[in-house]
Structure 1
Amino acid sequence: MLYFANPLMLIALVAVLIPIIIHLVKLRRYKKVYFSNTEMLSELQSEQRNSSRLREWLVLAARVLAITLLVLAFAQPKVRKQSEQALIGGTCVSVYIDNSYSMGDEGSEGILLEQAKKKAREIAAAYPAETRFQIVTNDNGGQRRRSMTREEFLATVDEVQLSAQSMAIGDAMQKQAAFATGVSSGVHAYVISDFQRSAWDLADSRQQTADSESGCRYSLVPLGATGQGNLYIDTVWLDEPLASEGSEVRLTAVVRNTGEKRVESLPVKLYVNGEQKGLASVDVDGKSQTEARLSFTVRGVGVMNGYVELTDYPITFDDRLYFSVNVRDRQRVLALHGGTANTYIRRLFDGDSITEYAESTLASADLSQSDEIELITLTSVKSITSGVAQTLGNYVEDGGTLLIAPPADCDIESYNTLLTAVGAPQIEGYDTNTSSCTRLNTEAALFHQVFRRVEENVELPTVKGYFTLRNTAGASCEEILTMANGAVYLAAVPCGEGVVYLFTAPLETTNGDFMQQALFVPTIYNMALYSRPTPMLYYTLAEGATVEVGSAATEGQTSLAKEGEEGTTVAEIRHTGKHSYLMADGMQLEAGNYRLSNGKAEQGLSFNYSRSESQMEFCSAKELKATIKELEAKDVEVFDNSAKPMDELIRQRTGGRSLTRWFLLGALAMLAAETLLLRIPFRKRHNQAMTRE
């Protein structure tokens, strides 16, 4: 499409009237010439008249064309492709500013985020005043994503700050495409980012950048990040999932080095409840990671908030990793029996410092407060009423743990009523053949971190009789101990929020040797220890993050207080059924240790920024172009990192191909033609006539 960048110059086309008027008026002065022969004069006048008239018309045409081409040249004629016309012809511009923590790094021209904001302002300056704008950032909601004027856009750009939220480039482009679907004239979308490799996903970008019906065209604006090295705490975990008062907690922290150089003797510190409890020194090779091992002793019960720390510059948001350990004050175990308590279970729990142990016959047991009990064991009980079966079923549904070990002479029908209530496979006849267990499922959740190395000759139980199970394939059943003939000895069956552990043989020394083996202690003890969900050490702050919380949020108003800061915030809690969730995303939390409380119960929570921003590896403009070429995405282009302002680059790209030079050359050609026409000798035949005379 042909257009003029300076159309007002076309007014000067009236200048073509000047040579026309001159030629029409024929402002020429005549002079007298004497001839002796009038016959020759008549012939000469006729010939000269025809030649002169032709030349005058040619000169007039040359002058008119010269003036016309010269005026058009100053009007700056340009030809724009259809794709370029679509860009400039749209009435909306969408700009994504990556404001993740990696944008706090220094680039070749200063802080990357400030560079991004500067380029966003320059983009706005490249478009007409009536253009509508949209801004997308990692942490914004609908208010920023709406259509706005240039003035509102510039004011919003000034407000953009670094955010803990991170967003894949493909997700940002998808939000821009969603905005474009409601704009009939199309949208030009700019993506301003450091283009971390962790955020620029090829497969995801293939889906987002392919030609779509949204009419959205993308311009990628890489900021030329330097990609300097970064040291940070990547992850932290406890060697033991739960902690108790007086126990030693062993902790492992992963230290990662994204730089090229090896770092030696890097101090890694451990703080718990505001006091330094540990120190380790590690060496980390370039582009590698290592583990720092730390430990501390639990003093007291309740919330223990801490963090692991190192020192690094200039990227500091990932130098600390916060964690929370909620030390349980006690665990309750209720042993139900038919008349004689299981002495091995009593010995295991009765002398334990953190266990509140009680035992009772099933007939006299009070199960009204069963929701406060972590583990209920059911051994040597011959018959179970339907009411008790329903109560125990509700207990498991609500998150309790139930151990079932039926005696050989039990009422199978009553037991099957209970097993049906908890979704476990039913028992059938009692097999009196002796059988040995040959397979131990060491990967079962019950044995989490129990086995570091499994010996080939590990001693497994032998039984003199057992119940066979019906429909084990249909039930959601995890086999923990299996006998040589394939029969199940111990199975875990999830039910609602709880779990049922079903022994197919009586827990009696007259029927087997399991109680005398070393495997008995971790198996039964872990049933109580893992009866409640293990709290997360920490959570990652991310868009849409929700945290399931416990009793600290079930009653009354719940407050959230950050360690080291005064004041509390009303926690945004959402109750769904029997679960309570903290809506962390809506509270705009920062990384740190927190205490969640409702005045009666307290829970420790820790939040950390996503480590996806810690990988200081970026895509260059050349790599982006290669990716776009591979994707065959015709609606995507890349702006090289240039010292030129964005508004100038945009005008160059959307301005089309200039024809000014060709129009100037055409004007010069017309002036040259005029000169030649004026210098052509038209008196040759006249001179020949004079000679004959």
Structure 2
Amino acid sequence: MLFKNPAVLYALALLIIPILVHLFQLRRFKKEYFTNVAFLKKIQQQSRKSSKIKKWLVLLSRLLAFAAIIIAFAQPYFPAEDSTIKKEDLVVYLDNSFSMQQEGANGTLLNDAVQSFITSIPAQKEFTLFTNDKVYRNTSLDKIKNQLLEIDFTAKRPSLKSSYLKAQNLFSSEKNRRKSFLALTDFQANAIDSDDIFEKEIHTVLIPLQAKEQQNVSIDSAYIANKINQDYQMHIRVSSNKKSEDIFPIAIYGQEQLLAKSSISFADSLVRKVVFNLNEKEIFYGKIALEDQSLDYDNRLFFSINSQQKIKVAAISAEEDRFLEKIFNNKETFEFYSFKENEADYSVLENADFIVLNELSQIPTSLQTLLQQKLKQEKNVLIIPGSNIDISNYNSFLGTLNRAKIIQKKNQELKLTQIRFSHPLFHNVFRKAISNFDYPTIYESYEIDDYGSPALLTSDNAGFLTEKNHLYLFKSALNQKITNFKSSPLIVPVLYNMARQSVSIPQLYYEIGEVNAIDIPTPLNQDKVLHLTQGEADFIPLQRKLNEQVRITTAPDLPILAGNFEVKKQNELITSLGFNYNRKESDLELYPTEKFQNVEIKNSITHYFSNLRNQSEVDELWKWFVIFAILFLAIEMLLLKFLK
């Protein structure tokens, strides 16, 4: 047993005073003489004996009462087993992602967590706290209380595993310290890949933060369709995680001016589509706004409508073949030029965004030089070899690019057996991986020392279509005698995306947290740069000059906030771009915490810290000594009253 105030125990020496008073009493008995004293003497002896026993008992109870009071003021305790050996190294993860905007008992879940943490943790306890975007190392509540109250939401949402790995790096290297990890989050399923995350060596405590209602309505996406001259339709996809009879208003604004308004309900479906009829003259940039009481970040979608820049596609073919013309027949999107071998117009090729060499027997030196320039400008080039090519000529060109080497021609029947769905060429082409696809057959192909990223593979596990540094290469010709690939549904998205990805045309909107490459059609002098501005916010993105265009690239950490940004050259407004947050957190599906291993689940922060105090500090005993003091005083009173 230990004492918090051991100096108080010196007061026990004062107990000698009542003992001395008892031993040296000055009271004397006065004798009275009577004629017949035999009987009285007997009574006198009995009274003196019982009186002496009573006084000793009273003295004992009084001493015990005083001793108990003194010991209670000394605050005795039994220390916890671990606290005598180890000190706690506490690392706290506080989730401040957008899902923490849900309503809790007292405001948002983030506000609830911060307030509970401030009121529960001991003021002088040292800890390390980190959020999704900030770290506070080796601090205490007194030092960062104001900063905790100012924590805001962020678009950054790391997985729970990455947060745990980050916490491991924040623990001190000092030995004989118990490592404790405390996670304050809502445990969304989209942020958890596995339940086998936590280690036994680290004391892990999970505190699931639960909202009052688990319903959220969000604007998922939008696109433009049915464009006729300046009239078009804006299609908006809105989703809810639960069915509801409630009515949710939705509106579209152009430069803060209300253009149209509607309302939706999710009584019988979780997905609704809203269509607004608009005119290009009415709007340059704008936003779609939804009224919803749950998450706020996904109730707005910012967009920008820019003049459509046509993609220039040039094809050089050994023989007349109209399949490319059919693929690029959309005159609102493409400008298509077709040339026969040795009749190409180089002035057109120099301005082309996407060049296709269709079954040429050889590649002229002048054309090789032009293609090398195009590849340096990050324009896509597609080579479809003919059935009888000059292999050395092709290898000479490919060798200058460090691209690949054609070894020999093979008359072996092969089957196209695999699509690399993760390849950028198939971005937004397939909703999910397909296993029962009707793959085409190749009857004649070239053996190529593959060097690049394969998008399509044949049955010999070699690339049928590969890409490296914007140069695409097929393994065989595509005419009907060689393969039925032209009849496959793959031909259209493959060639279409090659052309689309050759030019980073400004989209309706972009996603924050991604690397976005955007081609701005404007010439730029040597000493000028493009700025992205929104109100007082102004930053210069990474940019590169490409002829009459400037390719700007936004990093994952810029811009930080969603909204409409103006692209300016000095003070000249060039165009506008809309940036929005990722919608992953709109789905409020929670991960069952009982699946986690090597963890302790607590229902509140207060509960955790109260248990922590009991475990790491002491087993308090002073209350028991107060009870003992009262008990001994009561015994003293009973002795004085009833014992004769």
State if a TM-score over 0.5 links the two structures: yes
Counterpart of 1:230 in structure 2 is 216
- 2:363 counterpart (384, 391, 411): 384
On the 8 A contact 2:384/2:473 being kept in 1, the answer is no
Q: In the alignment, does 2:562 pair up with 1:591?
A: yes
State how 1:336-415 maps to structure 2 within 5 Å.
336=316, 352=331, 354-355=334-335, 357=337, 359=339, 362=342, 366=346, 370=350, 372-379=351-358, 381-384=360-363, 389=368, 392=371, 395-396=374-375, 399-406=378-385, 410-415=389-394
Counterpart of 2:266 in structure 1 is 284
On the 8 A contact 1:95/1:134 being kept in 2, the answer is yes
Counterpart of 1:211 in structure 2 is 201
Counterpart of 1:316 in structure 2 is 296
Q: In the alignment, does 2:577 pair up with 1:611?
A: no
- 2:123 counterpart (98, 120, 127): 127
Counterpart of 1:70 in structure 2 is 69
Q: How many residues align?
A: 624
Q: CA offsets, 1:232-272, max 9 Å, x none?
A: 21x226488xx9995987765432223453346x5544556
On the 8 A contact 1:10/1:75 being kept in 2, the answer is yes
On the 8 A contact 2:315/2:357 being kept in 1, the answer is yes
Q: Distance in 2 between matches of 1:186 and 1:447?
A: 50
RMSD of aligned residue pairs (Cα, Å): 6.0
Q: In the alignment, does 2:516 pair up with 1:548?
A: yes
Q: Do the aligned partners of residues 363 and 35 (structure 1) sit closer, same or farther apart at CA in structure 2, a change above 3 Å counting?
A: farther
State how 1:517-532 maps to structure 2 within 5 Å.
527-532=498-503
On the 8 A contact 1:335/1:341 being kept in 2, the answer is no
Partner SS state of residue 499, structure 1 = strand
Identity %: 23
Q: Do the aligned partners of residues 445 and 244 (structure 1) sit closer, same or farther apart at CA in structure 2, a change above 3 Å counting?
A: farther
Q: In the alignment, does 2:237 pair up with 1:254?
A: yes
- 1:573 counterpart (542, 557, 581): 542
On the 8 A contact 1:397/1:495 being kept in 2, the answer is no
Scaled by the length of structure 2, what TM-score is found? 0.71
Partner SS state of residue 244, structure 2 = coil
Residue identity opposite 1:180 in structure 2: F
Q: CA offsets, 1:335-382, max 9 Å, x none?
A: 4467x8767767987994641637476598759985x53222334644
Q: In the alignment, does 2:172 pair up with 1:181?
A: yes
Q: Distance in 2 between matches of 1:592 and 1:159?
A: 22
Partner SS state of residue 270, structure 2 = strand
Q: Do the aligned partners of residues 414 and 615 (structure 1) sit closer, same or farther apart at CA in structure 2, a change above 3 Å counting?
A: closer
Q: Distance in 2 between matches of 1:180 and 1:374?
A: 53
Offset of residue 312 of structure 1: 2.0
Offset of residue 72 of structure 1: 1.9
On the 8 A contact 1:282/1:290 being kept in 2, the answer is no
Q: Do the aligned partners of residues 200 and 23 (structure 1) sit closer, same or farther apart at CA in structure 2, a change above 3 Å counting?
A: farther
Q: Do the aligned partners of residues 325 and 415 (structure 1) sit closer, same or farther apart at CA in structure 2, a change above 3 Å counting?
A: farther
Residue identity opposite 2:314 in structure 1: L
- 1:639 counterpart (604, 626, 630): 604
Counterpart of 1:79 in structure 2 is 78
Counterpart of 1:159 in structure 2 is 150
Give 1 or 2 for the bigger CA radius of gyration: 1
Q: Distance in 1 between matches of 2:485 and 2:180?
A: 72
Counterpart of 2:447 in structure 1 is 470
Q: Do the aligned partners of residues 323 and 94 (structure 1) sit closer, same or farther apart at CA in structure 2, a change above 3 Å counting?
A: same
Counterpart of 1:663 in structure 2 is 625
Partner SS state of residue 585, structure 1 = coil
State how 1:447-458 maps to structure 2 within 5 Å.
none
Residue identity opposite 2:123 in structure 1: Y
Residue identity opposite 1:127 in structure 2: A
Q: Do the aligned partners of residues 369 and 475 (structure 1) sit closer, same or farther apart at CA in structure 2, a change above 3 Å counting?
A: closer
On the 8 A contact 2:445/2:475 being kept in 1, the answer is no
Residue identity opposite 2:271 in structure 1: T
Unpaired segments ≥5 residues, structure 2: 37-41, 545-549
Q: CA offsets, 1:453-510, max 9 Å, x none?
A: x9x9x9999x9xx853214888754459x9xxx899x9432122342346526x6x99
Q: Do the aligned partners of residues 251 and 657 (structure 1) sit closer, same or farther apart at CA in structure 2, a change above 3 Å counting?
A: same
Q: Do the aligned partners of residues 19 and 532 (structure 1) sit closer, same or farther apart at CA in structure 2, a change above 3 Å counting?
A: same
Q: In the alignment, does 2:309 pair up with 1:329?
A: yes
Q: In the alignment, does 2:521 pair up with 1:559?
A: no
Unpaired segments ≥5 residues, structure 1: 38-42, 683-693
Counterpart of 2:39 in structure 1 is none
